[in-house]
Amino acid sequence: MIVCYTSKGWRVITQRAHGLLAGQICARWKPSDQPARWVDILIATTEHDDVFNEFEQKQLIDANGAPINFNMTSFDLEASNRLLDMSLTKSRYIALLISRHIAFTHGKDVDAKDFLHELKKKEKQWIREAGTTKDEIDQAYELLEFCDAFSLLICQEQIPPENRKIEISNGPDGQVYTFYQLEEALIVEPWPFEVDQFQINYEIRQISELKFNNDDAFRNALKAARVNTINLIISKAK
């Protein structure tokens, strides 16, 4: 989950809500520039964090009783295996993208070393079974990573003031993309999307309690929290 401290308490966005926002961004990519196996890429982008369900998982709070932000978590072997199993029942192509994402997020984690080594050995077989190529998977994953990065920046409210630009990520074309806020819109440069402007939305939960005795107490508060929908406009520079 993505957790931000505010004057009103904890502002929480679930991992799946973040994934859905990434999928909304991906869905608007210019058709002429969409990599092959488009539907698989769109599904992988939307579901890349689906194994992390805050209504079910453990270790939701830290030793001080505060909710754990996503970037404070370490490699979870059980969750990674479950996520891969979920993707393998859809397609080898999706599994390849999810495998790349696990490697991207945990590539420097010592605890993930053996797991990632085994994934690397399986990649050639999955590429063959999917009827694709390494270059094609590389390009497709760059798009997933771009959408994931953009969604995270938005969810964490990392939007600089005074029209200052911030880098999103490289796209599947190798181009570096940036964005900035102008009035009510987020301006992306260069513009990679199908239409000149579109709306995105995501859900947030606000929790006033600052400290929890256990995971269940936080989970109950999360379930009971009021849900607000945030709407934003992504636009081409005029």
Give the pLDDT score at 181.
95
Give the pLDDT score at 216.
96
Give the pLDDT score at 132.
97
Q: Supply the pTM of this predicted model.
A: 0.95
| Residue 135 CB burial class (10 angstroms; 0-12, 13-18, ≥19) | exposed
Give the pLDDT score at 160.
87
Residue among 39, 52, 37 at smallest CA distance from 126: 37
Extended strands (E) in the chain: 2-6, 9-13, 166-170, 176-182, 185-189, 197-207, 226-235
Given a cut of 50, the residues of the chain with pLDDT beneath it are none
Give the pLDDT score at 103.
94
Give the pLDDT score at 162.
84
Strand partners, 186: 181, 234
Give the pLDDT score at 11.
97
